[in-house]
Amino acid sequence: MTAKRDFRRILLIRRKALGDSLVTMPAVLEVARAWPDATIDLVIDRPFAGLLADLAPAVRVISWPLPQGESWLRRLRQGRYDLVIDWLGNPRTALWTALSGAPVRVGYDLPRRRWAYNVRVPRNLEGETALRGFAGEAFLDPLRSLGLKPGPWRDGFAANHGTLEETPEAVRAEVRNWVEQWLARAGIPVVVIMSATWQAKKWPASHVAKLLADLPAVGVNPVLVTGPGDEWLLEALPGRLGEGLVAPNTNLAELAHVMSRAVLFVGTDCGPRHLAAAMGVPTVTIFGPTDPGGWNPPTPHHVAVRHEVDCSPCDLTICPVVGHPCLTDLDSGMVIASVERMLANIHEI
């Protein structure tokens, strides 16, 4: 298989989480560069479709699920795709790939799914869960299987392709005014996000409170940004947060606007952390159950903070160990130390 084949209609499948989608975007942009005259469709979960459409303007984004009454099978067949790349590789997307009828179908060589693909890509896994290398590089492997020669995965790609935060009407005046007030305060502006879609990723609220209280002492002007699912954290923090420390509720475009004004991101391994990396914002990330080797961009701009225990990384969504030591025993002082080192070196990396 070579990249010289003239694909005219291409379907790219990248469903599920925001972080996974963002980490895949450099590979999507490589496809657009390799076949500039092709019609390229990208399937993305609806909550993230607008933001990602702006990051890849040459690619037509299909929001999943489709509007009620619209047949996905009919749309697949009418697409007449000659190339499909399935980056998710679950049984459903494998079936989609097969049903597309595309003559070239690319996907990972995984049990119960490989049947759907005629270009099978070794999955960058050790066993079933532990990534041996950064996921962004693994998402470039399907392109290499087609004969493309993409360079190494790079962070900051959104800075070159624009984001929704540059569209004034996408950001409410309330958020813009709040950002101006935040930036007017003393200290280096730092976004703190402690979201955790998995129970096992939750850093204790008491640690979060101490981190926010101690950051100003090292010259930081922190802001806590929360989103859907973060109610547990806000409920645990009443009385511990200073005035103006919590950002107003934001949509993704507004989150990008806030992030673009930050010098550093500090938080958990979550989707917004990958948005920061995409926008070229350095990160200090708290890792517990997930593997920083698989999910922390391998550059000096991105630092992983971990408490070493035998059971971590486990990739479990719920911690079965009493006391949850990988995160409970990771105190705020360890994070502060990494923040200080990053801020000291940020202009040299």
| 3-class DSSP state of 172 | coil
Lowest-confidence segment of 64-73, 90-99, 137-146, 164-173 by average pLDDT:
164-173
Q: Which token pair is 157?
A: 């790609």
Chain-centroid distance of CA 139 in Å reads 13
CA distance 201 to 290: 8
pLDDT at 169: 63
For residue range 240-293, what is the model confidence (pLDDT) as tens digits?
676 778 999 999 889 999 999 999 999 999 999 999 999 999 999 999 999 998
State what percent of residues in the chain have pLDDT above 90: 66
The predicted structure's pLDDT at residue 347: 66
pLDDT at position 126 is: 47
Contacting residues for 212 by C-beta, under 8 A, at least 6 apart: 192, 222, 224, 240, 241, 242, 245
Domains of the chain in sequence order: 9-153 (3.40.50.2000), 159-345 (3.40.50.2000)
- pLDDT for 234: 86
Confidence category of residue 127, pLDDT binned at 50, 70, 90: very low
Residue with tokens 């009828």: 101
Is the pLDDT assigned to residue 237 strictly greater than 70? yes
User: pTM, whole model, 2 decimals?
Assistant: 0.91
For residue 16, what pLDDT band results from cuts at 50, 70 and 90? confident
pLDDT in tens, 291-308: 998 899 988 899 999 999
Q: What pLDDT is attached to residue 240?
A: 63
Residue-level pLDDT at 168? 55
Average pLDDT on 136-143 reads 91
What residue ranges in 183-308 does DSSP mark as E strands?
188-193, 220-224, 264-268, 283-286, 302-305
With bands split at pLDDT 50, 70 and 90, how would you rate the model's confidence at 165?
very low
Q: Please say if the pLDDT value at position 218 is more than 90.
A: yes
**In the prediction, which pLDDT does 253 show?**
87
Average predicted confidence (pLDDT) for the chain: 89
The pLDDT score that the predictor gives to residue 304 is 95
pLDDT band at 167 (very low <50, low <70, confident <90, very high): low
Contact 137, 152 (CB under 8 A): yes
**For the chain, how big is the Rg over CA atoms in Å?**
21
Q: What is the pLDDT of residues 113-125, one digit of tens each?
A: 999 999 999 876 4
**By C-alpha distance, which of 163, 166, 171, 167 is closest to 57?**
163
Please state the rounded mean pLDDT for residues 7-18. 94
Which pLDDT band holds residue 134 (cuts at 50, 70, 90)?
confident
Task: Tell me: pLDDT of 166 over 60.
Answer: no
Question: Tens of pLDDT along 54-112?
Answer: 777 789 999 999 999 899 999 999 999 999 999 999 999 999 999 999 999 999 998 99
